[in-house]
Amino acid sequence: MTDDSIIKSQEQYAEELFEQDEALEQVLASIREKGMPEISIAAGYGRLLTLLVRLTGGQDALEIGALGGYSGICLARGLQPGGRLVSLELKREYAELAHANLTQAGFGELVEYRVGEALDHLSALEQEGRRFDLFFIDADKGNYPNYLEWAIKLAKPGALVVGDNTFMRGKTINPEQKGNAVTRMRQFNEQIARDPRLEGVMLPAYDGLAIARVK
Ligand code: DHB
Ligand code: MG
C-alpha cells in the first residue's frame, strides 16, 4: 500500500468503529439533494467538536460557516442545557437548510443564524458584548487569520478555537501554491503553532484540523 492509501484505510477503520449517525446522514443527504458542495467536516472531527464543546462547559459556541448544519449539530450536541450556538453563514439558502436540519435534530431553539459577511457579524457580536467558549472556523480560507483575531477578542478565558481544512487538500504543503487563500492559511497555521496568546495543536488527519486554547 502507498502511504496515502494507508492513511485513507486508517481513517475508514476509525470511522467504522462508530455507529451510523442518522441525524448526520440526513444532513449529508439533504446537501446532496440540493446540489450544495459536499464538504461537511469529517465525521471524526465532528465527534471531536461535540467533545470539545462539552469539555469547555458547553455554554456559548460560535461557528463561522454553517453549510448544511453538520458541524452545527455536532456543536449543539455538546452544549449544556441553556447553552447556545451562534452560526454565521454567508448564504441565506445554506443557513435555511442548516436551520431546518438542526430543527429536525432537536436543536432548532438553541441556534441563532446570522446571514451575511462574517466579519460584520463578528464586529456586531463584540458590540453586543457576546463572548464564547468555543469557536469553529470553517468558512472562506483567506479570512482565517482575521477570524482568529476575532475569536481571540471574543474569547472567554480559556476558550478554544478550532479551524477546519488547514491542509487545503495538499495546497498548504505545496510551495508552488502561492495564492491568497493558501498563503493566509499558512499564516493561520503558524499562528496556531507560535502565537504567544495561544496554546495550539495541529491534527494531520483528514484535511487537517487546528485546535488552540486562548491563554
Ligand atoms: C473544502 C472542504 C471544506 O471542508 C471546506 O470548508 C472548504 C473547502 C474542499 O474540500 O474544497
Ligand atoms: Mg471545512
> Ligand 2 centroid to 39 CA: how many Å?
6
- Architecture (CATH level 2) of domain 3-214: 3-Layer(aba) Sandwich (3.40)
Which residue ranges make up each domain of the chain? 3-214
Q: What is the pLDDT of residues 154-175, one digit of tens each?
A: 999 999 999 999 999 999 999 9
CA angle 124, 125, 129 (to 5 degrees): 115
What are 34-77's pLDDT values in tens digits?
999 999 999 999 999 999 999 999 999 999 999 999 999 999 99
**Atom 10 (ligand 1): residue with closest C-alpha?**
39
| Relative orientation angle of helices 92-104 and 22-33, to the nearest 10 degrees | 150
* pLDDT per position as a tens digit, 84-143: 999 999 999 999 999 999 999 999 999 999 999 999 999 999 999 999 999 999 999 999
Q: Which three cell numbers stand for residue 184?
A: 493566509
pTM for the predicted model, two decimal places: 0.97
- Does the Cβ of 63 fall within 6 Å of ligand 1? no
Residue nearest to atom 7 of ligand 1 (CA): 39
**Which ligand is in closest contact with the Cα of 168?**
1
List, in sequence order, the alpha helices (H) in 108-199. 118-127, 144-154, 180-194
